[in-house]
Structure formats: C-alpha cells, structure tokens
Amino acid sequence: MTDGSEPAAAPLLEARGVKKYFGAITALNGVSFHIAPGEALGVVGDNGAGKSTLMKVLSGLYTPSEGELYFAGSPVKFHSPRDARKMGIEMVYQDFALAGNMPIYENIYLGREPGRKFAGLTIIDRDLARRMAAEHLDKLKIHVKSIDQNVEELSGGQRQAVAIARATAFDAKVVIMDEPTAALAIKEVGKVLDLIKSLKAHGVAVIVISHRMDDIFYCCDRVMALYQGANFADAPLKDTNRNEVIGWIMGTKGHTQSFAHDRVQH
Amino acid sequence: MKKLILAGAALALMTSTALADKFLLDMKGPGAGNPFWAAVEAGAMEKGKELGVEVMVMSPPTESDVAAQIAQIEDMIAQGLDGIALAPTDPNALAPVVDAAKAAGIPVVFVDTKGTNEGVTFIGTNNEVGAKLAADYICGKIEKGSEVAILQGIITQSTGQARASGSKAGLEACGMKVVAEQTGEWDRAKGQAAMENIITGNPNIKAVFASNDNMALGAVEALKSAGKLADVMVVGFDANPDAAASVLAGEMTATVAQAPKNMGAFGIQALVDLKAGKTIDPVIDTGTVLVDKSNAEQYK
Amino acid sequence: MLGNSPRLSSFLEHYGIVVIVVVMMALLYATRPDVFMSLANLTNIIKQNATLALLALGMFVVIVTAGIDLSVGSVMALGMMCLAVAAKAGVPWPIVVLIGPLVGITAGLVNGLGLTVLKLPHPFIMTLGTLNIARGLSSLITEGAPVSGLGREVRYLGQANYDFGIFPPPTGLPASLFVVIISAVGMWFFLNRTSMGRHIFAIGGNTHAARVSGINVDRVLVYVYAISGFFAGLGGLLLAGRTDSGFPLAGQNAELDAIAAVIIGGASFFGGRGTVLGVMAGVLIMGLMRNGLNLNNVSPFWQQILIGLVIIAAVYIDVLRRHAAVRR
C-alpha cells in the first residue's frame, strides 16, 4: 500500500529520505514525500508521528539532518521560510500566525510590503497594498467588513481566511495547512474547506494536516500516513475509507471493521 | 580539633600584633577624581604615615550605593581592624553596622556626615555654620528686604537639611525674604531646572544660595539663558574646582569651602586616641572658609 | 453614555490622551494664572523635558517589541561624558556632536546583540547589565569628576533659543524643541510608513507571525536597541549642551521616567501598541505635572506620590478603554 499510488503528474515538491534529529531524538526517519500541482494531499498521523516536523522541513523552518528536497525536479535547500516562500511554498499555521494588533491588509503583506526602496528601507505604498489586498480577498471570495480592521477583531474563521489569503497573495505554488479547522466554530469549517477546494482549482498544491477525517475526505485527493517518524501508508482517497485511515494513524493496516463513532454517524 | 582552633587563634593573635594598627577610612564615594574625597583621603594617609599606623581607604562606587557601603564595613569587621572613620552614605541605614562594630570593640568616628548612633564622635564641617557663613555674605552684598531663593539638596540627608536650615535662618535673620525653596537633589541638571522655575515664578529675586556647587553651576546656566546673571547673585557650597573657576570668571559670586583634608587627618587622629583609651569631644569642627574672587585661585 | 457613541469612543481612543494634556494645562492655568501661561514658563517646560522626550521615543520603539531598555539613562551619561571629554581635548566640534549619538548607537548594538546572539532570556537582563556597565564607564572616564565648558557649537542643540524677533528674550523656542519635533515626526514616519517600522509592530503583536512572515526578527531587534541607544546619546548631547557639562551621575533613574512617559502615553507593555503622539503626550503630562507642582511649591515627596498615582491611573484608564473596545 505504501507505494500503491503513482503521482498523477510530475511532482512539484518532493522529499527523499528526509531525516531530522533533535539531539538524541529522531523526529523523522527517512521520510519520502511528493505532491503534484493542483493536488490536495491529506497528511495524517498520531501526535509525534512527525507531521509537523515534516511540514517545517518543507516550509524551510527546519533544515533536514539528512535527505534532499526537490522543487519542480531540481534539488533545493531552504535556509529559512523566506527561501521556501521565494519558491512559492507557503504555510498556514494552526494558530494562524497573524499579528492581531495590525489590520488585515498589513497582515496579508507582512514581510513583503509593496513600496519604494529607499536607503535600505521600504517606504510602503499603503494605497497599493490596500487595493491589492481588497482585490485578492475578492478573488478568493473572502468577505470582511473592512481591510483596515485589526485582525484581533475577527472571528476564527475570518482569521483563517486572512491567513490563507496571506499564503496565496504572491502566486503560491504549494500551500501547507496545519490543522486548518481545529480552531474554528463548526459553521465556519465548511467555508474554509471550500476555500481549499478553490485553491486546488487554481492549480495550487495543497497539503492538509488534519485529525478530522471529514475534512480530508471532503477536500483531498490523496492521503498519506506517517507513523513514528516514517512513511506508513499512502493512497488515493477513492481506494480507501475512513476506518482504514484511522487504522493507519494507530499503526495498523488492513483495518476494515467499523469504529464506534462510525456507527453513531450512520 | 581543639588544638587546631587554638593554633588558629594563636596565629591570628600573632599576625595582628605583628603589624601596625590598621584603620579603615570608608568614604561616601571614590576619592580618585573627586577632589573633595581625594582631599579627605590625602589627609588620612598623611596622618597615618605621621602616626605610624596603617590606613585603608574604601568607598562604595557611587554616593547613593548605601548597600555596598554596609557590605564593605561588615566585611572589614569580620576581618578585624582597629578603628573605622566612616562617612555614611545614609546615616540611618549605616547605624546597625556601626553598632555592630562597636559591639566588636572597634572604635568608630563619623567624618563629613553625622551618623545617628549615640556616643559616636562626629568630625566634619558644621554645615549649618557654613551655610550661615554664605547667608551672611549674601546679607552683606544686597539690600535688606530683597527676595532670595534657596536651592536645597536632598533634604532627607542631614547635610541637605543643615545647609537648607542654616542658610534660611541666616538670610531671614538679616531681613531677607526667602520666596522660594526648591530641591535640585544635588544634581546640576535638576538644579538648573529648579532655578528656571524659580526665576519664572519670582522674577525679582536678587540672590540664590545653592546647597552645593553643582546646583549653583546649574543655576548660573539658568540665569545666563534667562539673561539675568547680572541681577542675581549665586552662592554655592563645597568650593569645587569648577565653582572656583566660575567665581574667578565672575559668574558665581562665592562658595563655601570645607576643609576635607582636616576631616581625614582629624578622623585618624581621633581613632588613634580612642584606641589608646583617651576620651575625645563628641563634635570636632573641621572649619569652613568663604571663597570669593579674592581667594578662589587656590581651589581651582 | 460615553461608550454608546462609536465616533466619540473612537476619538477618545486615539486622542483621549491629548484631552488629558489640555485638561492638565487648564488646571495649572487655574492655580497659577500669573505664571503658568507665561512664555518663560512654557519655554521652561519644553527645555526641561526635551531629553526625557528623546529617551521616551527610544524607549517606545523598544516597548513596541515588548522589550525594555533599562540602560538609556546610563548610556545618556556615557555619551555625555565621552563628548565632554572629547570637547575638552580639543576635538573639532563637528566630530564632538556626533560622539554622543555614536556612543549611544554602540551601546544599543551591544544590547541588541547581547539579546539576540547570546540569547539572554529577556532584554531586562541584558539592559540591566549595560545600565551598570555604562554608568561605571561614565564614572571611570574622568574618575567621577564632572567636565565643564564645552564650547558654543557643541552646546548649540541643547542651549540655543530662537526668538524669531517676536518673543521677548529670554523666551522663545529652544533648539531642543526642534530636535524633539524632528525626532518625533521621523519616528512616526519610520514606524508607520516603512516596512521595518511595521515589522517592529508585528514583532510586538506576534513574534511567531513576524518570524514566519520572513521577517528577520533578530536583525530588527538589534536595530531597535540601536535606535534606543541613538536617542539616549542624542539626549546626552542635549543635556550636555543645556548644562554646559558632562557629569557621570546624569540621568539616574531617567529610564524609569522614560518608561513612565511611554506607558502613560498608552503604549502596551506587552508590545505592539502605542503611538508617537501618545508618547509625546505622556512626556508632556509628566512635565506639566512636575512644573505645576513646582510652581505651587509642592514638596518633592508629594510629587513622587502623585506621579506614581498618575502612572497607575493612566494605565487603568487604558484598561477600561480597551475593555469597552472589546465589548463594542
């Protein structure tokens, strides 16, 4: 089952044999990974399985202890999230990583403000930043009262939308989403998942880390499981089912019997 | 074990008798660079040489570092010595450690600043007398009934209090009107600010007594920028080199000199006398001198 | 009630602090109508608070990042001593006037690098260290002695006064006022219109967000402490000019006044919040209070108590205001 799925197209981002040590602890032990343009990949695994570490390697926050990354077929090395962002790899954090004390439009362009360079400083073109932010939010069909609103005044779902807007503001190729629905009210979950689908439709590769099978089965094409820092299983969604995936998270294969929460749902 | 202690005690006895008597001069601030404390230090060292005793000089890093001074003296008491001449940074705070020294049989005298402990001799300037000297000088130079001001030091300190009350009593005794008393906390910039406020609120003042020269020099700056230096006479206290230069330049009119060298010398003499079992006066005045243009040169 | 009108409450949120300044001025005018509004007194208030204003501007940038710079008072004294000694040694004045700010920037870089390279857990610790080091160095340079007589050009920014032909001498607008205005406007532009300024706010709002947005947080922090040091050094130049002297005990506890002015001005100790206008108002509130109490011959002990109460009251008002804002 591990190699049961061939990539639909040439991989856009690929990792081969990635290992990551923290002192004596091995967080990743030779993990391989690939994703194609326009693909939505669900990544599952128990706490400590290595999902977050792998995502931090892919987004440039950690450098791998061993192993290589390839972007569009050529080897790449990321020294910081900045390097990864230059390639179009963006991360949306579980806590959104937004500055609550600043307005929506500034959060979208934080670290990449448009404007004139002058003596090592960028003098921000605020009108341009506002206009670009408004247009981008429109394109993603995200509605806010005003782009000048401070992020701390927004609901969880709105913040997630701003975080996704920031991730996609500059021609993103790969968007990594860490538990995108964990901090949301139930009524906001659907909107965020639809947003993921629309990114996919724009040709963006989306990686979704989630504990919620509903999320993965709603918006992903393929699911990959990590167990104790190594690849455990990988399959197109059409070839598997919730119970099997839940079994992977717990480190068992060929699980077909139904679980308690399944029975409740049906 | 007992033997060891005995041997140690014998050794301690031997070393302490083998050397000359050891006295500590603990000043408020470092002598190096500060002419006042340098003079106190010099007076003590000379007297020590003359009498053939060892004089150690210490001070906290700044005059406000009370805790450091207490710690120094505690350490010295623990080491053992024959007497302490102390200029307390804060008399109340230093009182317990002075009591501890006395309880250990170590004679103590205060120099420069009077402490609060009963029965400890004070050797220093009578600040009230010195401030009155300045006040009398002002009285002799300006018309009776003129408005005058006082820049106080930190008035929780006895020196600050004595200079403030001595000058006020002196100025009022000769019929001056003290219209403002403000603190400049011994600081030049704060003295300058206080003086600016005083001349704004009291444009008619004719003289100001500043409780130290730093504040007096600040007052001169304030008067200069207000264009009033010619109308207001500035008298300071301490006769530091900057003040002496200012007096010679005709900016400050006068200042009051203490005799810091006497403090050091009299302090060591008093400790030697106490060690020899003599009784000494409870207060020993080291004297003050008025410094104006005629004698400022020697304080530069 | 107050909170019911969104426009009024938004106005108070942005300019409430200015209202407090105006009310204080009215009160002072009521107690000493003859003196308070006199040109001489207003000139005094400006001259006496110029250095505090500069220190507060530097402290503000640091506090926006949720940091603190305890070293500003000592660094100011160090800058003052260095430039005074240089002036006395006959160094040409165009170099002397640069020495204060340069010493400040150097001390700030040490703070910033100590924080980011040594990874000391909190700026409190690094700047507490430099507070002591800078104070010790200032005393060491001349072994504690003050240095007077700096020359007209060196004193210019701290002492010059423009009467513009309309103010009767000795009143007028002090050069230090223009230094403060230029600094404040420059700071406002830097913080609100440049990328690094916005990054400083982002770091204060959410350091993690700033870091993952590709902002080099450590580098920005080093700049922030260098800016604070620069203003401390510039403050030293002004104070040296004003007093015609460098003295090693200058600016003792000035860091606490600067922190108080920033906090009274509505900046948050937890970072990310505050305005330059608020900081300037905070400086004025402290200055007006001291001036008013001096003019009314109130004892310095009461002044301390009142300043303490104002710090607490100002922050409490801020807490209430924010509470109202959240409910809205």
ipTM: 0.85
Helices assigned H by DSSP within C194-275: 195-205, 207-212, 217-243, 254-264
Summarize the confidence of residues A126-150 as an average pLDDT: 91
Least confident of A241-245, B47-51, C50-54, C191-195: A241-245
List chain C residues with CB under 8 Å of B61. 136, 139
Give the CA distances from residue B218 to residues B80, B187, C174, C239, in Å, rounded to whole numbers and listed in that order: 44, 8, 17, 11
Chain-chain contact of B61 with C142 (C-beta, under 8 angstroms): no
Summarize the confidence of residues C75-92 as an average pLDDT: 95
Residue A4: pLDDT above 60? Answer: no
d(CA C118, CA A3): 47
A261 pLDDT band, cuts 50/70/90, is low
Q: A248: closest CA among A262, A230, A261, A260?
A: A230
Task: Give A103 or B66, the one with higher predicted confidence.
Answer: A103
A3 pLDDT band, cuts 50/70/90, is very low
Residue in the block written with tokens 């426009």? C7
Strand partners, A121: A118
Mean pLDDT of chain A: 87
Chain-chain contact of C44 with B196 (C-beta, under 8 angstroms): yes
In percent, how much of chain B has pLDDT > 90? 64
CB within 8 Å of chain C, chain B residues 202-231? 214, 217-218, 221, 225-228
Summarize the confidence of residues A258-265 as an average pLDDT: 51
In percent, how much of chain C has pLDDT > 90? 55
Distance (Å) from the alpha carbon of C248 to chain B's nearest alpha carbon: 10
In percent, how much of chain B has pLDDT > 70? 93
Distance (Å) from the alpha carbon of A90 to chain C's nearest alpha carbon: 10
pLDDT at C248: 87
Least confident of A8-12, B292-296, C10-14, C277-281: C10-14
Residue B63: pLDDT above 50? Answer: yes
* Residue among C47, C161, C244 with most chain B CBs within 10 A, to mutate: C244
- Is the sign of the CA dihedral C28, C29, C35, C38 positive or negative? positive
Least confident of A80-94, B230-244, C247-261, C283-297: C283-297
Q: Chains near B, with 3+ CB pairs < 8 A?
A: C
Least confident of A249-253, B191-195, C62-66: A249-253
Least confident of B70-74, B105-109, B159-163, C58-62: B70-74
Q: Chains near A, with 3+ CB pairs < 8 A?
A: C
B68 pLDDT band, cuts 50/70/90, is confident
**Burial grade of A124 (CB within 10 A; 0-12, 13-18, 19 or more):** buried
Residue B181: pLDDT above 60? Answer: yes
Chains C and A are in contact, defined as 3 or more C-beta pairs closer than 8 angstroms: yes
C23 pLDDT band, cuts 50/70/90, is confident
Chain-chain contact of C143 with B33 (C-beta, under 8 angstroms): yes
d(CA C38, CA C40): 5
From C196, C198, C206, residue closest to A97, measured CB to CB: C206
Mean pLDDT of chain C: 89
Residue B173: pLDDT above 90? Answer: yes
What tokens were used for A130?
């506002």
3-state SS assignment for residue C6: helix
pLDDT at C102: 97
d(CA B67, CA B2): 37
Residue B180's identity, in one-letter code, is A
* pTM, two decimal places: 0.79
pLDDT tens figures, C102-132: 999 999 999 999 999 998 889 999 999 999 9
List chain C residues with CB under 8 Å of A80. 214
Task: Give B225 or C180, the one with higher predicted confidence.
Answer: C180
Chain-chain contact of A111 with C210 (C-beta, under 8 angstroms): yes
**Burial grade of C60 (CB within 10 A; 0-12, 13-18, 19 or more):** buried
Residue B10: pLDDT above 60? Answer: no
pLDDT at C81: 95
pLDDT at A6: 47
Q: What values do phi and psi take at C139, rounded to 5?
A: -75, -35
pLDDT tens figures, B143-169: 999 999 999 998 888 789 999 999 999
pLDDT at B196: 93
Task: Give C82 or B63, the one with higher predicted confidence.
Answer: C82
Summarize the confidence of residues C35-59 as an average pLDDT: 89
d(CA B89, CA B112): 10
Locate the chain B residue with the closest alpha carbon to C248.
B62
Summarize the confidence of residues B232-238 as an average pLDDT: 95
B237 pLDDT band, cuts 50/70/90, is very high
Q: What values do phi and psi take at B204, rounded to 5?
A: -95, 5
**Burial grade of C182 (CB within 10 A; 0-12, 13-18, 19 or more):** exposed
d(CA C218, CA C119): 10
The listed range with the strongest mean pLDDT (A247-256, C138-147, C316-325) is C138-147
Chains B and A are in contact, defined as 3 or more C-beta pairs closer than 8 angstroms: no
Chain-chain contact of C195 with A122 (C-beta, under 8 angstroms): yes
CA C245: distance to chain centroid? 21
List chain B residues with CB under 8 Å of C169. 227
The listed range with the strongest mean pLDDT (A47-51, B35-39, B60-64, C206-210) is C206-210
Residue A257: pLDDT above 80? Answer: no
pLDDT at C3: 43
Measured between its terminal Cα atoms, the distance across chain A in Å is 27
Chain-chain contact of C194 with A124 (C-beta, under 8 angstroms): yes
B15 pLDDT band, cuts 50/70/90, is very low
List chain A residues with CB under 8 Å of C215. 110-111
From C211, C212, C273, residue closest to A101, measured CB to CB: C273
